[in-house]
Amino acid sequence: MAEAGEKSAPAARKPLRVLVVEDEAELMEFVVRYLEDAGYDVLQATDGMTGLQLARERDPDLILLDVMLPKLNGFTVSRLLKFDDQYKHIPIVMWTWKEEDADRQMGLYAGADVYIPKPFSVGRLLESITALIGPPPNAGDNHE
């Protein structure tokens, strides 16, 4: 126990885990590196079926979900998670080249919390993530 006047160390927060489901290798690499550098713990899947499995097994704090994916599209993955009481709490940021209003409405109907058309700014992406789950635990720390 800390003596009066001593500051105790703040309790360590668990890393916030983000699942990125994206089949474009270069975009995946860029986003994963960006999120890791920001302090998030990142899981990766390159198809909808693997993304769904990882979401169920690893309970991420947030999912970045492409729409056009092999095996299961993002709309289906989102619906399967959002209509399941065990996983509906996980925020989903859906991103896609499909930027028609009907596509956006379909994404939101499927349960996406945020729908971002590609190309997107990483600043907007990080703002969306922070708004949904907060900053990573080490935000504000000075790291080299």
- Rounded to an integer, what distance in angstroms lies between the CA atom of residue 79 and that of residue 7? 47
Q: Return the half-sphere exposure (C-beta side, CA atoms, 13 A cut-off) of residue 67.
A: 22
- Regarding predicted confidence, which is higher, 9 or 101? 101
Q: What are the structural domains of the chain?
A: 19-133 (3.40.50.2300)
**Mean pLDDT over each residue of the chain, to the nearest integer:** 86
Per-residue confidence (pLDDT) for residue 23, from 0 to 100: 96
- Rounded to an integer, what distance in angstroms lies between the CA atom of residue 63 and that of residue 117? 16
Q: Are 96 and 66 in contact (CB under 8 A)?
A: yes
| pLDDT value at 124 more than 90 | no
Centre a 10 Å sphere on the Cβ of residue 87 and count the other Cβ atoms it contains: 18
- Rounded to an integer, what distance in angstroms lies between the CA atom of residue 10 and that of residue 51? 34
Per-residue confidence (pLDDT) for residue 140, from 0 to 100: 54
Question: If we measure between CA atoms, which residue out of 12, 15, 19 comes closest to residue 90?
Answer: 19
Per-residue confidence (pLDDT) for residue 67, from 0 to 100: 92
User: What is the DSSP track for 104-135?
Assistant: HHHHHHTT-SEEEESS--HHHHHHHHHHHH-S
- Over residues 76-100, the pLDDT tens digits come to 999 999 999 999 999 999 988 766 7
- Regarding predicted confidence, which is higher, 8 or 31? 31
| pLDDT value at 137 more than 80 | no
* The model's pTM: 0.84
